[in-house]
Amino acid sequence: MSMKRKVIRIGVLGCGSVGSSFIRALKKNRNLIRERTGIEFFVVKVCDRDRKKAKFFPQLYTSRDADVTNSPEIDIVVELIGGVEHAYEIVRTSIKNGKSVVTANKALISEKGMEIFRLAGQNGVHIGFEASVAGAIPVIKAIRESFVGNRISSMLGILNGTTNYILTSMSLYGTTFAQALVEAQRLGYAEANPALDVSGLDTAHKLSILSALAFGRQIYWRDIHVEGMEFIEAMDVAFTREFGYRMKLLAIARKKGQELDIRVHPTLLPATHPLSAVEGVYNAVYLESDLAGKSLLYGEGAGGTAATSAVISDVVDIGRKLSENNLPSRSGLYEDPRTVVVPMKEISSRYYFRFTALDKPGVLSRIAEILGNNGISIASVIQKEESPEKAVPVLMLTHTAKEDSVQKAVAAVNRLNVIRKPAVLIRLSE
């Protein structure tokens, strides 16, 4: 092996927890990376709006984006500021100035990915975004490169650490959603405002990126059917656990022929499913494909050093290409215009229901009748006895049914005057 000494210069925009972890790690492991690649990587400029960061990087600090995006000495811009509009502006300027870009910004890629890749192609630069989905897990590289020869049929992902931490706590320790969320915030896993996580929108952003790579069609994240987990109660988790299921906020994308079934919602998986063992803040992606069969990639989905691992992986990939005077590789995204999305009402699934009903004679039979009329067959049921005055939960698992029929049946049940709260509905997945 030749030991050509090459140097790649990096500018970092955004010096929060991932930014400062990246700068530290690149310094700490610089010799290791040089031994492995023959290339030396240096951060030569660090930009952050917060001038207090200057004291940590007295030689490198700037408060002006342009000192990075326009600097002739920078080869790769690492964008870690988050958000869409300002980040997009920075990335565009960098690309137009001939710089390759690495970003951990899932919102940016899921909103503006196609525009960014097009601009990068026109300007002959590289874009890395491994850190935008599932932290340290090399899922983007796996789909783009390792499974490049595979027709992927199914992708199931636990892509949000906060919600998985909450669901694991509820499952293992019987805590309520609210208690588990407070604990997650105390440990730094959940944001002060956890809406993006618990609503499933963070997962939908990431699914939008992965499904584009796996299935050749970018589904805009707003077009993905998304249900959050705010409505989940401890009893839902406990009851279904007893029946051998584990609840996960799951990103689901399955392709059959040209039909893409894509959605995000709380999902019950058999306890024996490989994803059921993914607990706490861990993330995982489970793929089924024609050649590789079943694969699972599991790892740390969040936190400064997990994202740093992925950012360095992209930086080194691009550094290797730049040091070899390559033309840019393709993004791995491509457009398959034949793909059609399966409407939510056409999917089939098994279901878990929680009805909240007055404890009067005949209530269960009225619910069962409505379900039966809609072709929905009950597999198991628990009705908790309480005082006749109070509403009690009726918990059910069904056999496979059509979403359309289920929605009609649930609406009809909700209209019964003995029903005190809208029904809760969770889909099962094999």
Active site residues: 206
Q: Establish if 72 lies at the interface with a copy of itself (CB under 8 A).
A: no
Joined together, the tokens standing for residue 58 give: 């007295």
Considering beta carbons, is residue 240 or 308 the nearer one to a copy of itself? 308
Q: Among 16, 17, 25, 358, which residue interacts with a copy of itself (rule: CB under 8 A)?
A: 25
Q: Establish if 192 lies at the interface with a copy of itself (CB under 8 A).
A: no
Q: What is the DSSP string of 255-304?
A: EETTEEEEEEEEEEEETTSGGGG--TTEEEEEEEETTTEEEEEEEE-SSH
According to CB under 8 A, which residues from 141 to 170 bind a copy of itself? 141-142, 144-151
Question: What is the distance between the alpha carbons of residues 68 and 17, in angstroms, rounded to a whole number?
Answer: 19
Q: Establish if 75 lies at the interface with a copy of itself (CB under 8 A).
A: no
Q: Establish if 347 lies at the interface with a copy of itself (CB under 8 A).
A: no
Which range of residues in 71-79, 134-142, 229-237, 353-361 is near a copy of itself by CB under 8 A?
134-142
Joined together, the tokens standing for residue 346 give: 């056409």
Q: Establish if 134 lies at the interface with a copy of itself (CB under 8 A).
A: no
Q: What is the 3-state secondary structure (H, E, C) of 37-78?
A: HCEEEEEEEEECCCHHHHHHCCCCEECCCHHHHCCCCCCEEE
DSSP bridge pairs for 204 = none
Q: Establish if 339 lies at the interface with a copy of itself (CB under 8 A).
A: no
How many residues are there in the chain?
430
Going by C-alpha positions, the residue among 262, 287, 140 that lies closest to residue 213 is 140
Q: Among 71, 105, 289, 398, which residue interacts with a copy of itself (rule: CB under 8 A)?
A: 289
Q: Establish if 123 lies at the interface with a copy of itself (CB under 8 A).
A: no
Q: Establish if 1 lies at the interface with a copy of itself (CB under 8 A).
A: yes
The site for a copy of itself, by CB under 8 A, has a size of 69
Q: Which helix (H) or strand (E) holds 77?
A: strand 76-79
Question: What is the distance between the alpha carbons of residues 162 and 230, in angstroms, rounded to a whole number?
Answer: 13
Where do contacts with a copy of itself occur on this chain (CB under 8 A)?
1-2, 25-26, 29, 32-33, 35-38, 117-118, 121, 130, 135-138, 141-142, 144-151, 216, 274, 277, 282, 289-300, 303, 305-306, 308-310, 312-313, 315-317, 320-321, 324-327, 329-334, 336
